[in-house]
Amino acid sequence: MSSDAHETGTTPGDGGAPASETASDTTSDCVFCAIADGRIPAQVVAESERSVAFEDRTPAAPVHVLVIPRRHAATVAELAEASTDDLADLFAVIPEVARAKGITDYRLMVNSGASVGQTVFHAHVHVLGGADFTEASMTPQA
């Protein structure tokens, strides 16, 4: 399973907005937009006016939280072009996630585009922790 498929427990591409979509406030068929505006329930860990962080439904580590902008942008690159304030806020929420989950060490992972494994086309950052990780793998060591 690709890493982005962990986010919602869906099959790749299920519920995601097309990669060619431009940044906007929300997109009606985007699962992450629906989580951000409360149409789909999620276990929220931290949030701000511009971002929301929630538990991954099929975690790849003991701590696996997704941080998303409330504004729809298909990729992190698209988000950066649309709003550096939204991008900065996305990363400002990450220390709040770490505090809420009781971790000091964590790995951040971003897939930006289909060719590198992005399957849900709403910009997001994976916050992974609670385990030792090998240097080159997202999978924690046993």
The CA-to-CA distance between both ends of the chain, in Å, stands at 19
Number of Cβ within a 10 Å radius of residue 57:
14
Beta pairing class for 125-129 and 63-69: antiparallel
Q: Which helix (H) or strand (E) holds 65?
A: strand 63-69
Amino acid at 118: Q
DSSP annotation of 38 reads T
Spell out a b/e string for 101-121, using b for 16 or more CB atoms within 10 Å of the CB, else e.
Answer: bebeebeeeebbebeeebbbb
Asked if 72 is an active-site residue, the reply is no
Catalytic residue among 6, 64, 122, 124: 124
The residues carrying an active-site annotation are: 124
